[in-house]
Amino acid sequence: MLAVWQRRPYTERLIHALRHPVSEVRMGAIISLGNRREPQAAVPLAECALAHPVDVVQALAIVEAIHNIQPSPERDRALTLLADHPARAVRRAVVRALEAT
């Protein structure tokens, strides 16, 4: 089983970590995905922020990570999803990210 997991692409494993119950594990994945700048991570990042709406610090880090991702339809969709986030600070960060593109 471990060998199967290790053969999965690293980005896929990081995306899986976004569903981890421990916020520190999720934050590590968020930062790593932002550094990797791969469009396939954009929507899962947005879904993570929406799944944990009270964690505003994490959601702001997600907006930053998505903003770092290469311009793509996935990135645009993720920012659109986050435009309706319950936290005002996150919605404002999304507006700034959209204006910067």
Tell me the C-alpha distance between 89 and 11, whole Å. Answer: 28
3-state SS, residue 33 = helix
Top-level CATH class of 2-100?
Answer: mainly alpha
The residue among 65, 71, 78 whose CA lies nearest residue 27 is: 65
Cα dihedral 55, 60, 35, 32, rounded to 10, equals 0
Is residue 79 within 8 Å of residue 44, measured between CB atoms?
no
List the chain domain ranges: 2-100
pLDDT at 77 over 60: yes
- Summarize pLDDT for 14-39 with one digit per residue, the tens: 999 999 999 999 999 999 999 999 99
Considering only residues 101 and 99, tell me which one the structure prediction assigns the higher pLDDT: 99
Check residue 8 and give its pLDDT: 87
Check residue 2 and give its pLDDT: 62
Check residue 30 and give its pLDDT: 97
Handedness of CA 70, 16, 27, 35 (dihedral sign): negative
Check residue 75 and give its pLDDT: 96
**pTM beyond 0.85, yes or no:** yes
Query: Which DSSP state fits 70?
Result: P
